[in-house]
Amino acid sequence: MTAPETPRRSGLRGFGHAGPSPWTDLDRPPLDEEALRRDLLVPGGLWTSLDVVAETGSTNSDLAARAAARAGQGAVLVAEAQSAARGRLDRRWTAPPRSGLFLSLLLRPEEVPVERYGWLPILVGVAAASTLGRVAGVEVGLKWPNDLQTEIDGAERKLGGVLTELAGGAVVVGMGLNVSLRAEELPVPTAASLALAGATTTDRGTLLRALLRELAELYREWTAAAGDPHASALLRAYVDRCTTLGRQVKVHLPGDRELVGEAVAVDGDGRLVVRTPDGVRRAVGAGDVVHVRPEPR
């Protein structure tokens, strides 16, 4: 792993003479790091540090380096822009500065068996979907495993996604969420933003506070249940929001294999259960899912 880039701090001094003022685009003001710290770093709370940087390569890579140095649980790193952002299956993506929430979290769920760590990205997806519905008024579903989706003009569009990595015995959870992207800024036609979905607020500070509070509550419930998705009610919460279930799907599997059938369940390990045309049920732990539209009659 290459060494992470040295982050530049946010705020007017953080930007200095290295680039344009963060106030150039008044629709995209910078995050207020000090206010976020006051509100979120509370005694006995999950979050123990919060840093906002003007730009870095990848917040996940930066926190993975901290985890390798045995940093404690609860670090939050937010970037106003990333130059080497990574998504699932090592896909690369970019977004204009301050147009979204780009953050990573360092978690050490020591009460949870390692084999249940795979539920963490699902937990973050559930927290994000719940928060966006409650705070921004946008109905958000989860395409398996944890792509954040909404519907615009009858079409499913992607708002963001979640990526988790193991590092130094910790789990680093990264999330990217499109907040104020305009139509001409979308990387692909199937993408979306909260603004384009008609959100009641696109204030990133408000959204970040609500998201981290929701996530902390779900995380406590999950760890208190030793990561059991049934006892913590995480599986039920996920199934209620999963847009993949009940759909015809095509799953691109590792090794250029393909699985076609109906997505009928999510099992206790977070795997997608697909029923093939011959009636056989197969559980998929990793793959790229495509929702197949029904053939017109």
Phi then psi dihedrals of residue 108, to 5 deg:
-130, 80
E-assigned strand segments in 119-213: 141-143, 147-152, 155-167, 170-178
Q: Enter the pTM of the model.
A: 0.88
Tens digit of pLDDT per residue, the chain (297 long)?
333 333 434 333 334 334 555 555 678 999 999 999 999 999 999 999 999 999 999 999 999 999 999 999 999 999 999 986 554 545 555 789 999 999 999 999 999 999 999 999 999 999 999 999 999 999 999 999 999 999 999 999 999 999 999 999 999 999 999 999 999 999 899 999 999 999 999 999 999 999 999 999 999 999 999 999 999 999 999 999 999 999 999 999 988 899 999 999 999 999 999 999 999 999 999 888 999 976 555
Domain with CATH 2.30.30.100 in the chain: 245-291
Tell me if 89 sits within 8 A of 68, measured CB to CB.
Answer: no
- Rounded Cα distance, 114 and 131, in Å: 27
Nearest to 275 by CA among 242, 240, 245: 245
Nearest to 227 by CA among 125, 117, 98: 117
- Rounded Cα distance, 250 and 158, in Å: 18
| Dihedral sign computed on CA atoms, order 239, 243, 248, 249 | negative
Classify domain 8-240 at the CATH topology level.
Answer: BirA Bifunctional Protein; domain 2 (3.30.930)
Domain 245-291 sits in CATH 2.30.30.100 = yes
- Rounded Cα distance, 186 and 104, in Å: 22
